[in-house]
């Protein structure tokens, strides 16, 4: 704003300084903020201090990286984050528990179902309610569809960053089908807010099962298409194999979770290791890599999409009937028909929508396996209808730290491949 | 889990072992909603953390966060969520700190991955981590005043700037001029 305002002022003739003085002043400021590359003497020749981002097409959002370069080689990388900070954790404290649901998708817009899911699980843990099986199964189906769509965005942008543009168009074709399913169920394509503490907002519509079944019948052949484009492509292999290598010990010490950890050979998937929801009822494998490089992360995510399809197929087969929300009217509103006939139901309805649900005091941490790793919600309640403190453990935030380990000593061009393989979502990092 | 299950297990839990090993440093142990919370004195934190990592296989500290209770003398409660991949177990460590400059020893020496998390807690609550290699603001601008997630920090808002109130709002925002 400041720089622009200066320019506007100058154009309007309010500022009496000449163009040259203004130019000098702006240049000085840009140097201060490292917007212009500068040089300093290193051990083996001059070092370039370069600012990458915050507006850079391959940083997947508003990520700024300070780079120290010796020629083409990266000596130091330091991420600078916070450009998308909106204070969501503060906002939570001023919203009722039900209202908090709508904040969760705004953090990670690519895996918004998972954020809502983890938040609802933490609140349900505090409330000590068990949600009905139908709601659990629908959550699993929606979650796994979201995992596929999130991985498709990663695949498309990853390939686009390295220069394989056509994959992006293929990946977004299938993502559109998933978003259409989401629109059919929730009316929204991105910010769904479909899960509520105690179950789902409403039941799935008629025809949902057929649409999902036809999608999962189609999807394996489409994944084959992406693999045909990339897996044995010599340029793709050249750009990804042996790049950004990290070993299992470092990854664990740096709190890295999700596909990046699995690519180092650690078979750690919360769905399998510490099953939540109804995941213990499904048969699926946890794909792992061996080298921990960009290529292994690619293989792990591609395999994960296939496993997600397996889970959705089993969940559709087993999808039980019954209610989609708990029968506890302190948590979920009573059905509309009852409100007209029953005094109790009317009171519950009124209390719930004015006062909100009262959550017993205590603290709870619920974690689930999101597309990028462990998504955790830590909720502290003081017994009122608004949370005392909500903290989101976002996987990208912790995963981003490892970028220095991966990129230092490599080439600048490899840094682009590494950022893409980390699959960061800056909305979730900054919250 | 049935009650009989709890009684027949002979293996001591992590919380019991921590109490056995560190004695007075453990202020409180609670088991609630299937979660174990061990409250410690801030001084003992690095030793307990290192012991948990080496002896009980807690390879990962997934999260560090805090909560502010301004009515208490030790107003900040810093919590660490630890995860053991080999034992499939979670434990929460908690410390209470207060005073003019609340200080907790850093755990970056045990798990380097808590670097960003501790910076976030410093940024949001103003809790200092002694020995942290790079303790500076992470999400807020570096010259920001105050710590937003403290309870005495008010919820602010940004007025929208239009042509009719441009000057008025511009005068209120010295920080927006770079």
Q: Which two three-digit tokens encode residue A207?
A: 């025809």
d(CA A161, CA B109): 36
Mean pLDDT along residues A405-414: 87
Q: Do A255 and B170 touch (CB under 8 A)?
A: no
Select from B31, B37, B58, B60 the residue whose CB has the most chain A CBs within 10 Å, as the one to mutate to test that interface: B60
Q: List the one residue out of A307, A296, A303, A284 whose CA is nearest residue A248.
A: A296
Under an 8 A CB cutoff, do A364 and B117 touch? no
Region A23-37: mean pLDDT is 65
Per-residue confidence (pLDDT) for residue A256, from 0 to 100: 92
Contact check, Cβ <8 Å, B138/A3: no
The encoded tokens of residue B102 equal: 């609340």
Question: How far A314 CA lies from chain B's nearest CA (Å)?
Answer: 26
ipTM of the complex: 0.85
Find, in chain B, the residue whose alpha carbon is nearest to that of A400: B116
Q: What is the mean pLDDT of chain A?
A: 86
Alpha-carbon distance A415 to A420, whole Å? 9
Asked if pLDDT for residue A14 goes beyond 70, the answer is no
Structure confidence at residue B76 (pLDDT): 92
Give the pLDDT band (50/70/90) at residue A147: very high
pLDDT confidence band for B172 (50 / 70 / 90): confident
> Quick one: pLDDT at residue A307?
92
Q: Which of B37, B88, B113 sits opposite A401 (nearest CB)?
A: B113
B88 to chain A: which residues are within 8 Å by CB? 273-274
Q: Cβ A400–B178 below 8 Å, yes or no?
A: no
Which residues, 6 or more positions from B132, have their beta carbon under 8 angstroms from its beta carbon? B106, B108, B115, B118, B119, B122
Q: Residue B152 has what pLDDT?
A: 87
Q: Please give the residue of chain A at the shortest CA–CA distance from B113.
A: A254
pLDDT attached to residue A179: 93
Substitution target in B67, B76, B139, B169 with the highest count of A β-carbons within 10 Å is B139
Sign of the alpha-carbon dihedral angle for A345, A351, A354, A357 = negative
Distance CA B99, CA B112 (A): 27
Residue A1's pLDDT is: 46
| Band of pLDDT at residue A34, cut at 50, 70 and 90 | low
Picking from A5, A359, A363 by the largest number of B CB atoms within 10 A of its own CB, the best residue to mutate is: A363
- pLDDT at site A312: 93
pTM, entire model = 0.86
Cα(A415)–Cα(A320) distance, rounded to whole angstroms?
47
pLDDT at A3: 59
Contacts of B62 in chain A (CB under 8 A): 255, 257, 367, 374, 376, 393, 398
| Contact between A393 and B81 using a beta-carbon 8 Å cutoff | yes
| B24-60: pLDDT as tens digits | 888 888 888 888 999 999 998 999 999 998 888 898 9
pLDDT in tens, B75-110: 999 999 999 988 888 999 999 998 888 999 999 999
pLDDT tens digits, residue range A176-186? 999 999 999 99
CB B48 within 8 A of CB B27: no
> Residue B141: closest CA among chain A residues belongs to which residue?
A82
Q: How confident is the model at residue A410 (pLDDT cuts 50, 70, 90)?
A: confident
- Label each residue of chain A as H, E or C: CHHHHHHHHHHHCCCCCCHHHHHHHHHHHHHHCCCCCEEEEECCEEEEEEEECCCCHHHCCCCEEEEEEECCEEEEEEEECCCCCCCHHHHHCCCCHHHHCCCHHHCCCCCHHHHHHHHHHHHHHHHCCCCCHHHHHHHHHHHHHHHHHHHHHHHHHHHHHHCCHHHHHHHHHHHHHHHHHHHHHHCCCCCCCCEECCEECCCCCCCHHHHHHHHHHHHHHHHHHHHHHHCCCHHHHHHHCCCCCCCHHHHHHCCCCCHHHHHCCCCCCHHHHCCCCCHHHCCCCCCCCCCCCHHHHHHHHHHHHHHHHHHHHHHHHHCCCCCCECCCCCCCCCCHHHHHHCHHHHHHHHHHHHCCCCCCCEEEEEEEEECCEEEEEEEEECCCCCCCEEEEECHHHHHHHHHHHHHCCCEHHHHHHHHHHHCCCHHHHHC
Listed residue (A333, A298, A52) closest to A167, CA to CA: A298
Q: What is the pLDDT of residues A118-139, one digit of tens each?
A: 999 999 999 989 899 999 999 9
Distance (Å, rounded) from C-alpha A16 to C-alpha A10?
7
Task: Tally A–B CB contacts below 8 A.
Answer: 106
| Integer angstrom CA distances of residue B130 from A319, B25, B119 | 52, 19, 11
Cα(A407)–Cα(A395) distance, integer angstroms: 19
pLDDT tens per residue across span A194-235: 998 988 988 899 999 999 999 999 999 999 989 998 888 898
Q: Within chain B, what is the greatest distance between any pair of CA atoms?
A: 75
Tokens of A305: 């999409």
Torsional sign, CA A337, A339, A340, A342: positive
Model confidence at A54, in pLDDT bands (50, 70, 90)?
confident
B112, B137, B176 ranked by CB distance to A253: nearest: B112
> Does the pLDDT value for residue A8 go beyond 70?
no
Q: Which residues of B touch A273 (CB under 8 A)?
A: 85, 88
Which tens digits make up the pLDDT trace of B113-139? 899 999 999 999 999 999 888 888 888
Pick the residue from chain A with its C-alpha nearest to B134: A78
């Amino acid at each position: 704003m400041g720089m622009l305002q200066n320019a506007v002022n100058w154009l309007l003739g309010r500022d009496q300084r000449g163009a040259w003085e203004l130019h000098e002043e702006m240049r000085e400021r840009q140097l201060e903020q490292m917007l212009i590359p500068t040089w300093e003497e290193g051990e083996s020749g001059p070092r370039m201090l370069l600012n990458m981002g915050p507006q850079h097409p391959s940083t997947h959002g508003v990520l700024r990286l300070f780079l120290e370069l010796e020629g083409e080689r990266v000596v130091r990388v330091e991420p600078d984050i916070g450009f998308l900070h909106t204070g969501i954790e503060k906002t939570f404290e001023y919203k009722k528990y039900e209202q908090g649901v709508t904040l969760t998708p705004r953090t990670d817009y690519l895996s918004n179902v998972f954020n809502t899911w983890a938040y609802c699980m933490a609140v349900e843990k505090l409330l000590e309610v068990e949600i009905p099986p139908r709601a659990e199964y629908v959550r699993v189906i929606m979650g796994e569809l979201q995992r596929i769509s999130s991985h498709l965005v990663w695949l498309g942008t990853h390939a686009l960053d390295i220069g394989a543009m056509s994959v992006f168009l293929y990946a977004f074709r299938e993502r559109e089908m998933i978003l259409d399913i989401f629109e059919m169920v929730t009316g929204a394509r991105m910010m769904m807010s479909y899960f509520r503490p105690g179950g789902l907002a409403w039941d799935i519509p008629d025809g949902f099962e057929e649409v999902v079944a036809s999608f999962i019948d189609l999807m394996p052949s489409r994944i084959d298409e992406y693999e045909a484009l990339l897996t044995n492509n010599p340029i793709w292999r050249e750009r990804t194999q042996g790049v950004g290598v990290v070993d299992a010990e470092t990854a664990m010490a740096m709190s890295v979770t999700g596909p990046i950890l699995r690519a180092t050979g650690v078979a750690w998937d919360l769905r399998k290791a510490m099953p939540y929801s109804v995941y213990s009822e499904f048969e699926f494998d946890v794909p792992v890599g061996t080298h921990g490089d960009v290529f292994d992360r690619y293989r792990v995510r591609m395999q994960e999409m296939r496993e997600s399809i397996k889970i959705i197929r089993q969940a559709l087969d087993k999808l039980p009937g019954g209610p989609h929300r708990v029968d506890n009217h302190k948590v979920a509103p009573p059905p509309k028909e009852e409100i007209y006939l029953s005094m109790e139901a009317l009171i519950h309805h009124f209390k719930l929508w004015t006062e909100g649900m009262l959550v017993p005091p205590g603290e709870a941490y619920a974690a689930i396996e999101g597309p990028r790793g462990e998504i955790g919600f830590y909720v502290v309640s003081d017994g009122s209808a608004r949370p005392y403190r909500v903290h989101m453990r976002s996987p990208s935030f912790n995963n981003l730290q490892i970028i220095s380990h991966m990129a230092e000593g490599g080439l600048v061009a490899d840094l682009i491949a590494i950022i893409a393989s980390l699959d960061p979502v800056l909305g979730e990092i900054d919250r | 889990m049935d009650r009989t299950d709890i009684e027949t297990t002979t293996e001591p839990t992590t919380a019991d072992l921590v109490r056995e090993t560190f004695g007075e440093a453990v202020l409180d142990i609670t088991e609630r909603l299937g979660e174990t919370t061990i409250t410690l004195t801030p001084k003992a934190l690095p030793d307990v953390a290192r012991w948990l990592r080496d002896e009980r296989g807690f390879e990962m500290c997934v999260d560090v966060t805090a909560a502010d209770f301004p009515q208490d003398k030790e107003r900040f409660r810093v919590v660490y969520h630890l995860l053991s991949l080999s034992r499939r177990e979670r434990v929460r460590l908690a410390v209470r700190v207060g005073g003019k400059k609340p200080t907790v020893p850093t755990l970056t020496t045990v798990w380097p991955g808590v670097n960003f998390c501790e910076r976030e807690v410093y940024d949001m609550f103003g809790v200092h981590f002694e020995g942290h290699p790079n303790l500076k603001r992470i999400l807020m601008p570096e010259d920001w005043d105050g710590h937003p997630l403290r309870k005495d920090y008010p919820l602010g808002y940004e007025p929208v700037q239009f042509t009719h109130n441009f000057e008025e709002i511009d005068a209120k925002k010295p920080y927006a001029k770079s």
